[in-house]
Amino acid sequence: MSTLYVTEPPTDGKVILYTPKGEIEIELWSKEAPKACKNFIALTLEGYFDNLVWHRIVPGFIIQTGDPTGTGQGGESFFGSPFENELHQRLRFNRRGLVAMANTGEKNSNDSQFFITLDSTPELQNKHTIFGRVAGSTIYNVLALANVEISESEPDRPVYPPKLNRAEVVHNPFSDLVPRITPEERIVQNQAKAMAAERADSLKRKNKRPKKNVTLLSFGSEEDVSQEERSRKPMSSHDLLEDKRLSKKPHHDIQLKQENVPTENFRKGHIKGPRIPEELNPTENVSQQVSETENLLSTPEIKPKQSSGRELLNSIVQQYKQDKKDSNPPRDLDQLKLLGSFQKNIREKTSVPKGQSELTRLSSESLWDDDANMHEYGAEDDDDVNWRSHRFDSGGIPLSGLNDQYSIEDYQVIDSRNTRGEMALSLGFGEKKSRKAFEEKARQEKLRRDGRRGRDWI
C-alpha cells in the first residue's frame, strides 16, 4: 500500500465533509487538476454542498453526491458551464478512497457532482478526472455510508439516502479565488426558488382542465361540455318564448297529504273530499287552471273519526265474546261430560263405609294434616323448659341392683359424628375402606372363636 502512495503526487488543499457517519477528510491535487479543485473549493465556500444527499450508492463501487435536486440529473459548475476533463498519468483508479468528478458519459461534461471509490475501478480510467483522495482512517466512514439498503425499483438508489450535512474548506491553495455568493445568501436564494416553484405548480394545477370521465357513456358532443354548463338547469318554453299565455312564475309541485286519508278512499267513495279535475282544458289559460286546482286542494278535508283507547278495547272485548259464542260447542260439551264422570268416580271411591260417621272419617284423615301435630326431627319445643329433668326409660328393666341382668358397661352412648369407631363401623358408618376392614376383622374374630383358622376354613 505504501508503494501506491509513493507513485501519487503530493497534495495541496484540504476539505472536510460532515456526514451522519462521521467526518470525511479530502486532500486535493490542486496542481494536477487545477480546474476541478478550484470548482470544488469554490462551491464549498458558497455552501453549495450543504444539506445534499448521497443520491447514488453502488456497494463495492462508488458513492456519489453533489446534485441539489437529489436525482442525479442536476448540478452546475462554478464557471457557469461544464468544463473539460483533466487527466494525469500518475493518478489512476487503482484503489479505494479516490475522489473524482462525475459526468454525463460525454467528454468535457463536468459540473458539480463527484464520487468516492470503494474499490479499484480500472474501467473508469481516462473517463473521469481524479482531483483528490480520502485521508487517513476517515475511509471507514465512507464505507459506513455505503452500508445502506438499496431500492429494488430504482437501481443504485438507496431507500433512505444519507445526507451530506455540510462541507468546510480547511486549506485553500487558490488565494485569488472569490466565491460568487455566501452560504447565507445561497440559503435565501434556495428558499426563494422553492417558493417560486411552488407558486408555479399551484397556478398550473389551477389552470389545468379537469380530466374527462371516460367511464361514463358519451353521446356525441356531450363529452366536451364543461362542468358549469352541465350544472345549469334546463330551460322550458316559458323561459325562452315571449308569449303572454305562458306564465313566467315557477309552479311548485303540489302533493296530497296522505297521512290520514289514503287515496284509495277517494276512489271507493268512502270519504267525501275535494275532487281534483282529471283533465285540464288546454284552451284555457294555464295560470287560471293552476289557481283553480290550488283552490280545490285548499278546501278542508274530512278526516275519519279516530276512536279513543277505551272504545277500541271495548270493541275488541265484544268481538272476542262474539267469536267465543260462535265457536264449536260440541267440543266443550264433551269435555264437561268427561269431567263430570271423573268427579262421580272419585265420590264413589271415597264414600263413607257403614257404621262410620262422617266426623270420624274427617278426624282420622286430618290427623296427619295438622301442622301442629307434626314436628321435625330435632325441633325444640317452646314449652319444654325443664329438659334437664328428663330421665332415661329402660323399658321396665332395672339399671342397678342384684336382679339387673345388664351391667353399666352394656350401655354405650354412640356419637354420630364419630365415624371411625368400632360401633360406628358395625352400624355401617364411615368410609367404604374402613367398613370393609372392620367386616374382615369381625369375620376373622368369629372364626377364631369357633376354633377355625380363616385361611384353612376358606
Which of these is catalytic: 87, 124, 177, 256? 124
Report the alpha-carbon distance of residue 37 to residue 14 in Å, rounded: 10
Does 89 participate in catalysis according to the annotation?
A: no
User: Would you put residue 426 in left (φ > 0), alpha (ψ -120 to 50) or beta?
Assistant: alpha
Burial 83-119 (b: 16+ CB within 10 A, else e): bebbeeeebbbebbbbbbbbbeeeeeebbbbbbbbbe
Which of these is catalytic: 61, 174, 266, 429? 61
255-260-266 Cα angle (round to 5):
70
Does 103 participate in catalysis according to the annotation?
A: yes
Which of these is catalytic: 88, 94, 95, 103? 103
User: What type of residue sits at position 33?
Assistant: A
Does 453 participate in catalysis according to the annotation?
A: no
Which of these is catalytic: 28, 45, 52, 64? 64
Which of these is catalytic: 52, 55, 56, 110? 56
Look at strands 14-19 and 22-28 and give their pairing.
antiparallel
CB of 25 closer than 8 Å to CB of 16: yes
CA distances (Å), 124 to each of 58, 139, 238, in order?
14, 20, 83
Which of these is catalytic: 78, 115, 131, 438? 115
Does 343 participate in catalysis according to the annotation?
A: no
Does 171 participate in catalysis according to the annotation?
A: no
Does 270 participate in catalysis according to the annotation?
A: no
Report the alpha-carbon distance of residue 321 to residue 314 in Å, rounded: 11
Does 288 participate in catalysis according to the annotation?
A: no
Which of these is catalytic: 55, 92, 96, 128? 128
Report the alpha-carbon distance of residue 340 to residue 330 in Å, rounded: 15
Please spell the DSSP secondary structure of 374-413, one letter per residue: ---TTPPPTT---GGG-----TT--SSSTT-SS-GGG--P
Residues with a known catalytic role: 56, 61, 64, 103, 115, 124, 128
